[in-house]
Every structure is written in C-alpha cells, then in structure tokens.
Structure 1
Amino acid sequence: MSAQPVHEEGPRVPRTIGGISNALRGSRRAQFFAELLEAQQGPELDGVISAWWGRAMLDTDPDRDRIHAAAEAGTLPTTTMDEIARRRQECTA
C-alpha cells in the first residue's frame, strides 16, 4: 500500500496566462490567445481566463485519456441525479 496525499500542493495549472498556455494541447493554445487578445480588461478577461483555465485543467488531467476512451466505449461509470441528491442528503444529515 502506498501513501497518497489527500490534497495536492496546488492546482496542476497555475491560474495565470502563462500557466494556462503552457498546459493547453495543440491548437487550443492559439484559440486561447485569440480570445485573450480580444477580451477587454475586467469581467470579460476574467471570464476568458476562467474558462480556459478549466480547459487546461482537463487537458492536464492524468486520467484524461483513460476517461475519454471509457466514455467513447460506453464503459464510463455514470450516476443519476436522484443518486447524487441522495448522496448529498446523506452528507448533510
């Protein structure tokens, strides 16, 4: 049995323009910069950074390829909204 940290030291991808661009795969980096260059400072720019940070986190997920393959093969475990609601109810009880 090996010890695994419960929480990582920080996010895999720094929530910065450089961190996001370094993490994106292929042409997604160019798309990120195109949107970034068009965004106005303030909420619009914050929105671009938030959206692309999420995509960068997905691109760097160590299980990304396995999950993608399972989804395409139809073997990815799923759950219902009722099950999620039940689990949430148990956590708050």
Structure 2
Amino acid sequence: MTAQPIHHHEPERVPRNANGIAEALDGPRRAEFYRQLLAAAPEEAEAVLRHWWCEAMLDTDPEGDRLVAAAIDGTLSITAVADVVRHRREAGGLVE
C-alpha cells in the first residue's frame, strides 16, 4: 500500500530524490542515509529512498515539535490504517 500525503506541499518541502533528502537531514542522519543508500542492492534502493524521504519530511515539518510533544504526553490524535483505507476508497482515492 502506498500512503499519500494528507496535505499536499507545492512544491514539496523535500524533493523525492537523494539530493533533496540529504539536504533535509542533519549531519549524522545524512551520513546514515548515504551509508544505507550506497549499501543497498538496486532492488532495495527505492525502499531506502522512500524511508529516508519520510524521515526528512518529518524532520522538516513545521509542526514537528508540537507533534512530538503530543506523542510524548499521550494527546496525539491517531487513526487506524483500515479507517484511512476506507476513507480513501470512499473518496475515490488511490489505494494500492
């Protein structure tokens, strides 16, 4: 299943390529990203890029600190994946 962003970013905060991802990560995390990407077999590279793009999007989220604080104190709103899938299907959205 491919998750689509709830709020589209025009242009996206983090471009979906290695350079965009690397620019959004801090030094140690950037090094780990490159280590994993360079160590990945060709068929694994897309998964590494997807994982680190998600990390970079979270790192650059303007509301990131608020979300972390809400998660820590147990007030973060959550939604079951099944509910998201059902909602996307009902709205005619792509569900893979």
How far did 1:51 drift?
Answer: 1.2
Q: Which has the higher contact order (CA 8 A, sep 6+)?
A: 2
TM-score (norm 1): 0.71
Gaps of 5+ in 2: 1-6, 92-96
SS at match of 1:47: helix
Question: Structure 2: which amino acid aligns with 1:63?
Answer: E
Pairwise mapping of residues 1-93 of structure 1 onto structure 2 (< 5 A)? 7-40=8-41, 42-79=42-79, 84=83, 88=87, 91=90
Between the two proteins, the alignment pairs up a number of residues equal to 84
How far did 1:16 drift?
Answer: 1.3
Gaps of 5+ in 1: 1-5
Compared CA separation, residues 26 and 71, structure 1 to 2 (3 A): farther
Flag the structure with larger Rg. 1
State the identity %: 47
Segments ≥4 residues shifted beyond 6 Å: none
